[in-house]
Amino acid sequence: MIYKLTTVITQEGKLFIARAVELGVVSQGKNVPDALANLKEAVELFFDNNPRAKKLASKKAPFVTTLELQHV
């Protein structure tokens, strides 16, 4: 089965931090592709150790947008 997870990648210093938002699983890498590959492995291990966690993952792509706010 294919699961679609919301993934957020930020750069912190020299590392890229990848987060699977729905699951709270986090990994890192020296670049974006490495961070994603490491996150995929971490999520697979998370699913293996927590079979019920698959219910948290969606089979549909989530809607992601941005919010722009001017604070006065």
Neighbours of 10 (CB within 10 A): 10
Q: Which of 49, 56, 50, 52 is nearest to 6 (CA)?
A: 56
pLDDT of residue 3: 82
How does pLDDT run along the chain (72 residues), one tens digit per residue?
Answer: 788 888 999 999 999 999 998 889 999 999 999 999 999 999 999 999 987 877 777 666 677 888 899 988
In degrees rounded to 5, what are phi and psi of residue 41?
Answer: -65, -40
Would the pTM count as exceeding 0.85? Answer: no
pLDDT of residue 12: 97
pLDDT of residue 59: 65
